[in-house]
Amino acid sequence: MFGSGKEVNGSKLVYLDNAATSQKPTAVLTALQNYYQNYNSNVHRGIHFLSAKATDEYESARKKVASFINAPHTREIIFTRNATEAINLVAYSWGMSNLQADDEIVLTVAEHHSAVVPWQIVAQKTGAALKFVTLDKDQVPDIANLKEALSKKTKIVVMHHVSNVLASVLPMEDIVQLAHNVGAKVLIDACQSVPHMVVDVQNLGADFLVASSHKMCGPTGIGFLFGKMELLSAMPPFLGGGEMIADVYLDHSTYAEPPSRFEAGTPAIGEAIGLGAAVDYLSGIGMQRIHDYEVELANYLYESLQSIPKLHIYGPKPSINVNRAALCSFNVEDIHPTDIATFLDQQHGVAIRSGHH
């Protein structure tokens, strides 16, 4: 991780772009270096010492992720390139196999593009329809509107747990129950919740959940999908190649059980091991402790920005009943967002994100 004395443009660095990607603690960098220096080898394919060691560490990372989100079975964790690929895996494998004309996919207008575009493509291919839940007066996805949108035609609900723009935290347990009441599955985009609070897939009741390593102090190039085993076992492969097969014949192939079925080819071994180290790092601090501290920071950030004239903050106002995530999207009247970001970076060493989301 950057030393406390790192400077940018002549100022001490203040990194406030963690919603885009987090910095990496020393333990993660050490885990990556240790793999490449001491036991670099492919996994699952060799009996020699290095391959056995790499396989053990790779699968240990899967166990750590499963425990971190309280998945019932380690095999319910699929390693992917990122959360975007994890969503695409569900859209193409589950969606193309289960959706047909007149079925409905429910999302919110506040979803990340990675959660919208794959379902647009699948809807075009299957004839299914997309329905979008609007925002309420507090700029939070409207639960009343969600209830109206759900019907027996709804086959899957795709929603974020925490918005990377609005900072809203959705009541996912209630949303999952509403969806299940009409027989729909639920995919939770947990990229902005898994690094910042306790996430328990069993308490949530999630059918699918995705998250990204690089936003939770881990390396880039890896994310994960949680899926209930009965769903994963019924899904066809997303990609074809080595590792995901049971047997290959000239005219057909049989496929491995999950998770191997969805991890074609040589995986991101070092990155998975680094993700495991990131899970250890966060667990060592304690997710509830992290969450409680971030609530304090979120309230302080909101109140401080609110005191600035002509500055408009998006998303709900924090209160006893409303917790905002520890981020704020804002505009300042008559000043372009890119100008603000450039000024803060070049004059004060403050890294923030600007632009259209």
Domains detected in the chain: 7-24+286-351 (3.90.1150.10), 37-283 (3.40.640.10)
Residue 228 has pLDDT above 70, yes or no: yes
Burial of 293 (0-12, 13-18, 19+ CB in 10 A): middle
CA distances from 100 to 29, 127, 181 (A): 46, 6, 20
How high is the pLDDT of residue 195? 97
Residue 356 has pLDDT above 80, yes or no: no
* Mean pLDDT confidence for 3-19: 87
How high is the pLDDT of residue 98? 98
Cα dihedral 302/303/304/307 (nearest 10): 120
Residue 302 has pLDDT above 80, yes or no: yes
How high is the pLDDT of residue 100? 97
Say how many residues make up the chain: 357
Q: What's the CA gap between 47 and 103, in Å, rounded?
A: 48
How high is the pLDDT of residue 2? 61
Residues 6+ away with beta carbon under 8 Å from 166: 110, 135, 139, 140, 314, 315, 316, 329
Structure token pair of residue 111:
């979803």
Residue 3 has pLDDT above 70, yes or no: no
Q: What's the CA gap between 287 and 195, in Å, rounded?
A: 8
Q: What integer best gives the mean pLDDT of the chain? A: 95
The amino acid that residue 59 corresponds to is: E
Nearest to 12 by CA among 23, 22, 21, 4: 4
Interior angle at CA 327, CA 321 and CA 329, nearest 5: 105
* Mean pLDDT confidence for 157-175: 96
How high is the pLDDT of residue 5? 75
Residue 221 has pLDDT above 90, yes or no: yes
How high is the pLDDT of residue 52? 97
How high is the pLDDT of residue 321? 75
98-132: pLDDT as tens digits:
999 999 999 999 999 999 999 999 999 999 999 99
* 159 CB-side CA count, 13 A: 33
56-105: pLDDT as tens digits:
999 999 999 999 999 999 999 999 999 999 999 999 999 999 999 999 99
Reported confidence tier of residue 27, pLDDT bands at 50, 70, 90 = very high
The secondary structure element, H or E, covering residue 253 is strand 253-255
How high is the pLDDT of residue 319? 80
* 351 CB-side CA count, 13 A: 16
Least confident of 4-13, 43-52, 258-267, 299-308: 4-13
DSSP 135: B
Q: What's the CA gap between 257 and 197, in Å, rounded?
A: 31
How high is the pLDDT of residue 47? 93
SS3 133: strand
SS3 204: helix
Helices 269-285 and 49-68 meet at what angle, rounded to 10? 40
- Percentage above 90 pLDDT, the chain: 92
How high is the pLDDT of residue 217? 98
Span between the terminal Cα atoms of the chain, in Å: 27
How high is the pLDDT of residue 318? 87
* Mean pLDDT confidence for 327-352: 95
Residue 1 vs residue 349, higher pLDDT: 349
Residue 357 has pLDDT above 80, yes or no: no
Reported confidence tier of residue 4, pLDDT bands at 50, 70, 90 = low
Residue 248 has pLDDT above 90, yes or no: yes
